[in-house]
A and B are shown apart, each in its own frame.
Chain A
Amino acid sequence: MRYLPLTEADRRDMLGVIGAKSVDDLFVDVPVRARRDGLVDLPKRKGELDVERALSAMAAKNVSAGSVPFFVGAGAYRHHVPSTVDHLIQRSEFLTSYTPYQPEITQGTLQYLFEFQTHVAMLTGMDVANASMYDGSTACGEAVLMAHRVTKRKKAVLSGTLHPHYRAVVENISEVGGYAVEALAPAVSDRTEDIIARIGDDTSCVVVQGPSFFGDLIDLSAIADAAHAKGALLIAVVTEIISLGLVTPPGDMGADIVVGEGQSIGNGLNFGGPYVGLFATKTKYVRQMPGRLCGETVDAAGERGFVLTLSTREQHIRREKATSNICTNSGLCCLAFSIHLSLLGEDGFRRLARINHANAVKLADGLASVKGVEVLSKTFFNEFTIRLPRAASGIVDALAEKNVIAGLPASRLIPDDASVENLLIVASTEINTDDDRAAFVAALKEVL
């Protein structure tokens, strides 16, 4: 039996109430080019074996990340996730448990959340971290809203090297909330002075990413000082969290809020999600922080235990005045993060970061030796930007034909901007071998 609870009359009544003529009217906000007229032309029936053959043939046309030398980063990184991680997170106590709405009886869940928060606070150099957000970009949007609450101001300044997706989320959330955003034009490296010049008396926060979307490292200290002098907060964004195994944590450079994408640790590329947003701040701002927060305490018998704390910030208690409408967290992804990080340990994590950096340096040296290629990034972690002699997108397509996934053409995320058309953003993590890099360099020589 099909479950179709609505009658035509029900639909008509509901559409009438909101003033829409048809169900299609509900989709007017979706651009026409993204919509499809009519149904997909599919055969009425096919045997299971036939379907499997047809789909396998289609899937075989893809060049998947794991099958060839792969150098794409730009906010989602392919790292080795030890099989231990998947094995442990698939225990049913973890895999099937829902967000702890009756928290105190789920001590195991609370304990790993507390450990995750501790990991994030230590990595970012901040006092306190929450039990995770949906992903880095939404964490960034929430951080801007939080800065508005703390400063009672309404304007965010975004650096030109912020990931375009993060910028889009901030702009979207700000438009809905009636807040102002001043974003610097995308540039491979925006100068600290240019960011500082935008900070005014009405600025609530400055959002700066490091390593930047283009891979460059940035010293946040001067921006932090300038922001604080104007009563604004510094929000630091980290999209490659493994960089913190080598780079000074944003908290030590004066950041007031640190947000990031935690996918790199414990989580695969997952076709773009689910991911795990990291969110950390200073103790003095904790009451304005969004999201779940787990605390350690002692019970009546003096035994160590865990609770959800400061819940009065949250929607189930504070209703429309809550700090956020997030009522959950990326539970399983943050568990994977914490298990992987625990397996690495502090030394292992630093070593992993060093391997990433060394691999990227080797790749940059190899690419710089190709005639017509210029490495633009001066200081970088595991990702950098090169300038090619012609449009990067065509070259990437040509390299894919040679079974090398060479990186992200900047024009993919920054369209209609001639200044980035020839730029290619390239990442090399611990998964890339010397053979991978040699294949990339050789293929590029052939294509150029």
Chain B
Amino acid sequence: MSEIRFTDQHEWVRLEGDTATIGITDYAQEQLGDVVYVELPEVGKTMAAGDEAAVVESVKAASEVYAPVSGEIVEVNADLEGQPGGVNEDAMGRGWFVKLKLADKSEFTKLMDEDAYKAFVEGLA
């Protein structure tokens, strides 16, 4: 059973046990356009919520992806190195960026749930 949360920076976090998988939302990938490169952090690196976790580069811009929650990087999505387009094709699935070992669950529960994020995005239109 997994739970999913969102940030106002258009990142998503899916929590399974104490492993948080992080990516960018479908809305974000659409705004960025074709993703051409993703720079990922090193496994083993510890980061606080708000630290830069990755850089996603599209034909239009390069944007930082911030860690929505604190923890240690346990895995990065190596598939994105050769196929960054995976972010466009399946942002919420195989386009994930990193997996963190969650340090503090309260950081996760504070984030927006799916309905709140939907309302947030609609508000941007």
Q: Is the CB of A312 within 8 A of B61?
A: yes
Interface residues on chain A, size class: under 10
In the complex, per-residue mask of A316-340: 1 if CB is within 8 Å of any chain B CB, else 0: 0110010000000000000000000
In the complex, per-residue mask of B1-31: 1 if CB is within 8 Å of any chain A CB, else 0: 0000000000000000000000000000000
The residues of A that contact B57 with a CB separation of less than 8 Å are 312
Task: Check B37 for interface membership: any CB of A closer than 8 A.
Answer: yes
Task: Check A371 for interface membership: any CB of B closer than 8 A.
Answer: no
Task: Check A191 for interface membership: any CB of B closer than 8 A.
Answer: no
Task: Give A312 to B32 CA distance when docked, in angstroms.
Answer: 13
Q: Is the CB of A287 within 8 A of B61?
A: no
Instruction: Give min CB distance, A314 to chain B, whole Å.
Output: 10
The residues of B that contact A317 with a CB separation of less than 8 Å are 61-62
Task: Check B89 for interface membership: any CB of A closer than 8 A.
Answer: no
Interface residues on chain B, size class: under 10
Most buried by A among B37, B42, B62: B62
Tell me the nearest residue of chain A to B52, going by C-beta: A321
Within 8 A of B (CB), among A136-159: 152
Instruction: Give min CB distance, B9 to chain A, whole Å.
Output: 16
Instruction: Give min CB distance, B60 to chain A, whole Å.
Output: 9
Task: Check B39 for interface membership: any CB of A closer than 8 A.
Answer: yes
The residues of A that contact B61 with a CB separation of less than 8 Å are 312, 317
The residues of A that contact B37 with a CB separation of less than 8 Å are 287, 312
Tell me the nearest residue of chain B to A318, going by C-beta: B62
Task: Give A321 to B63 CA distance when docked, in angstroms.
Answer: 10
Task: Give A318 to B64 CA distance when docked, in angstroms.
Answer: 10
The residues of A that contact B39 with a CB separation of less than 8 Å are 287
Instruction: Give min CB distance, A299 to chain B, whole Å.
Output: 15
In the complex, per-residue mask of B51-65: 1 if CB is within 8 Å of any chain A CB, else 0: 000000100011010
Task: Give A161 to B57 CA distance when docked, in angstroms.
Answer: 40
Tell me the nearest residue of chain B to A312, going by C-beta: B62
Tell me the nearest residue of chain A to B36, going by C-beta: A312
Task: Give A321 to B56 CA distance when docked, in angstroms.
Answer: 13
The residues of B that contact A152 with a CB separation of less than 8 Å are 42
Task: Give A416 to B62 CA distance when docked, in angstroms.
Answer: 49
Task: Give A321 to B37 CA distance when docked, in angstroms.
Answer: 16
Task: Give A290 to B83 CA distance when docked, in angstroms.
Answer: 24
The residues of B that contact A287 with a CB separation of less than 8 Å are 37, 39
In the complex, per-residue mask of A291-318: 1 if CB is within 8 Å of any chain B CB, else 0: 0000000000000000000001000011
> Which A residues are within 8 Å of any B CB, using their own CB?
152, 287, 312, 317-318, 321
> Which B residues are within 8 Å of any A CB, using their own CB?
37, 39, 42, 57, 61-62, 64
12 residue pairs A–B, Cβ–Cβ below 8 Å: A152-B42, A287-B37, A287-B39, A312-B37, A312-B57, A312-B61, A312-B62, A317-B61, A317-B62, A318-B62, A321-B62, A321-B64
Interface pairs A-B: 6 shortest CB-CB: A312-B62, A312-B57, A318-B62, A317-B62, A317-B61, A287-B37
Given contacts A312-B61, A321-B62, 10 further A-B contacts (CB under 8 A): A152-B42, A287-B37, A287-B39, A312-B37, A312-B57, A312-B62, A317-B61, A317-B62, A318-B62, A321-B64
